[in-house]
Chains A and B, each alone.
Chain A
């Protein structure tokens, strides 16, 4: 009789209790409304326990490194050594990284580029180029370490970005400096005949983590500046800006600034790929070289206001925007119009054997914000609006590529080169944040003498543009990319690799093996000791004879996140690191006799100071 009353009321009470305990009453609309009322400080404050929404990967320029920042806090998180030695991580000291460096000690890391899937960052790999020593590199985003470096022949200074195609089919490396093929000696009087601006098509073998050069294109001896791959409907195409089409060979500041128009090189990489497949190339020292004046097709020139810097494809893939640098204009070009012009052969002659498209038949509109000077580079937000850095008038200008109307502008301190918006060069930019990469900091931070750091300024672009934070940065970010943090999946420790003959995971497997004058040490590092030979009277001592060739294979058997060990030999100029679970090798000749302490350089534990041993080198006589 009325048995259901207690049952129903019981359920009801339980339900209410559960709702009160677990329901999230902080609705999304509430937080969003609150965020617009936040002060600048509140917008960038990321308390302990929370993390930034974005990773910012900034090129480190002539430091040869890459800098990782968190956005919006603008806290620096990590330096990744890529083209330069870094004793802090042993990069360029251990065998793997020493080989990658190829004998060079520094590099000039310019434009970073994430691997992409369907035109969006996939968070797996990061590519970079070295203007200093003509190399390209790939960084693994599982470990934030450099995995491969390739030296690019026939080219000198692949400045203009490693820019990747929509599904990372290719990374193109156009060159800043023209040199003779093979970088042979040729008189500068023969510049126009003997010099070339070679562009390389680099492929990435993801399985073996290897970069390869698929083919090269011997473009005219001009300087190639920035570039971008097409998207969606223009995915098979790519664009890059040129300057010094004057082919001047001295005082370029003046001589390369004479012609009223330079060019955008527009090329179809699918067509170039086909030409290579059909054997339409010449073999130049093992490289497949396309000479555009001989192997015709696939490459066109689009006239553009003189000495342009940036060329950026809109997220919808319909337009490319060139920035004038010396001219105050941004020019919006239409891919569709360009394709039609190519089809109808609307050419205005040729330059160095490459057809020139008629400017008028490709140009969509010229955009000229009032008093804005020195447009360099454009990023986009989630609504497709363009943000262009103005180097000379030191500001960011927001404008609509569809109408050319200026929407907003904000001064930055000072002289922005590039800027980076959240995923701002993909098919689906996120909006909200933009970081201006300023070349001059001057009076922004506490003075450190005549020269100052560069400056990165965080701009909230969710409403009216507002600079809300400045962060100093070492020389020198040229370009950066900003990726949603959850796209990157790092590992906590290196997994055991039982197939690695150099790895030792058990204390009892440690040993020192001598083969003639080669000494192989199979050791481990753990909190807080080294064990090189568990059977020895002193397991943390390595004793060799002067002149011996020494290989030290060291495995960190602390499979514990962030327990990294260092390994240095005092006065032997050697240091490397082993991250948790990692095996690394150091190879050198023990040419100095004497007694040399070994110690852990990366503070690991309470008894880190005790984590040491001796490297004893017996004199020859």
Chain B
């Protein structure tokens, strides 16, 4: 009995790693998670859509001023309801992570890793569908007719005179680091 409890107990080092992980998740809230940079011959400096968990930044007005030419709808906070609650979800996740560190229970850690994995997949799909919606739902009355397109989540795409570069933001790297920190205890406290 005692033995089995011990086997499910995470070490102090692991607990500390998980605490750091929680902190990184909180820190990630203050950094952009994802961005898309639009380059054109007239915009060598690039126009940005920078996505934070709770807001959009960058030259959104300029991009919105241009995208009616191809019949694309406007980017705005209103069109992304996720931005109004995403930071609470992430905050909640940080709390769960901290709890895991305190409980030092392997099963809880498995659960946490599961939640984060599912959350990650859902997030990627959500972004993909948003991009698909913008790129394929083009107004038929647009002055410039282009084929529907879906920009990738990471990588390049070309739309008219624009080349878009989709990049992960600093925030997501913090999250990835946090996730790796959660995996380390699995190996460290593995059954020997």
Asked if A607 and B69 make an inter-chain contact with CB atoms under 8 angstroms apart, the answer reads: yes
B126 within 8 Å of A (CB atoms): no
Asked if B143 and A560 make an inter-chain contact with CB atoms under 8 angstroms apart, the answer reads: no
CA distance A273 to B69 in the complex (A): 61
Asked if A560 and B65 make an inter-chain contact with CB atoms under 8 angstroms apart, the answer reads: yes
Distance of B23 from chain A, by nearest CB (Å): 28
Given the known A-B contacts A606-B69, A607-B69, are A558 and B62 also in contact in the complex, defined by CB atoms under 8 Å?
yes
Asked if A560 and B69 make an inter-chain contact with CB atoms under 8 angstroms apart, the answer reads: no
B66 within 8 Å of A (CB atoms): yes
Which chain A residues lie closer than 8 Å to B143 at the CB level? 607, 610
Residue-wise, chain A 524-568 has the 8 Å CB interface mask toward B (1 for contact) of 001100000000000000000000000000000111100000000
Can you report 16 residue pairs joining A to B where beta carbons are below 8 Å apart?
A526-B65, A527-B65, A527-B66, A527-B69, A557-B61, A558-B62, A558-B65, A559-B62, A560-B59, A560-B62, A560-B65, A606-B69, A606-B144, A607-B69, A607-B143, A610-B143
Which residue of B is nearest A526, CB measured? B65
CA distance A527 to B64 in the complex (A): 11
Distance of B162 from chain A, by nearest CB (Å): 13
Which chain B residues lie closer than 8 Å to A607 at the CB level? 69, 143
Give chain B's interface residue range (CB within 8 Å of chain A): under 10
CA distance A558 to B64 in the complex (A): 10
Total A residues in contact with B, Cβ cutoff 8 Å: 9
Distance of A192 from chain B, by nearest CB (Å): 65
Distance of A467 from chain B, by nearest CB (Å): 36
Asked if B69 and A557 make an inter-chain contact with CB atoms under 8 angstroms apart, the answer reads: no
CA distance A559 to B63 in the complex (A): 10
Which residue of B is nearest A607, CB measured? B143
Which chain B residues lie closer than 8 Å to A560 at the CB level? 59, 62, 65
CA distance A457 to B107 in the complex (A): 82
CA distance A385 to B66 in the complex (A): 55
Residue-wise, chain B 47-63 has the 8 Å CB interface mask toward A (1 for contact) of 00000000000010110
Which residue of B is nearest A529, CB measured? B68
Q: Which of B65, B66, B143, B144 has the most CB of A within 10 A?
A: B65
Interface set, chain A 45-101, CB cutoff 8 A to B: none
Which chain A residues lie closer than 8 Å to B61 at the CB level? 557, 559
CA distance A557 to B62 in the complex (A): 9
CA distance A610 to B65 in the complex (A): 16
> Apart from A527-B65, A557-B65, what are 16 other A-B pairs with CB-CB below 8 Å?
A526-B65, A527-B66, A527-B69, A557-B61, A558-B62, A558-B65, A559-B61, A559-B62, A560-B59, A560-B62, A560-B65, A606-B69, A606-B144, A607-B69, A607-B143, A610-B143
Distance of A526 from chain B, by nearest CB (Å): 6
Q: Which of A558, A559, A560, A610 has the most CB of B within 10 A?
A: A560
Interface set, chain B 61-102, CB cutoff 8 A to A: 61-62, 65-66, 69
CA distance A417 to B61 in the complex (A): 49
CA distance A245 to B62 in the complex (A): 62
Residue-wise, chain A 563-594 has the 8 Å CB interface mask toward B (1 for contact) of 00000000000000000000000000000000
Which residue of B is nearest A557, CB measured? B65
Which residue of B is nearest A610, CB measured? B143
Which residue of A is nearest B143, CB measured? A607
Residue-wise, chain A 487-530 has the 8 Å CB interface mask toward B (1 for contact) of 00000000000000000000000000000000000000011000
Which residue of A is nearest B43, CB measured? A560
Interface set, chain A 587-615, CB cutoff 8 A to B: 606-607, 610
Which chain A residues lie closer than 8 Å to B66 at the CB level? 527
Distance of B74 from chain A, by nearest CB (Å): 11
CA distance A145 to B125 in the complex (A): 50
Residue-wise, chain B 27-61 has the 8 Å CB interface mask toward A (1 for contact) of 00000000000000000000000000000000101
CA distance A606 to B59 in the complex (A): 20
Which chain B residues lie closer than 8 Å to A559 at the CB level? 61-62
Which chain B residues lie closer than 8 Å to A606 at the CB level? 69, 144
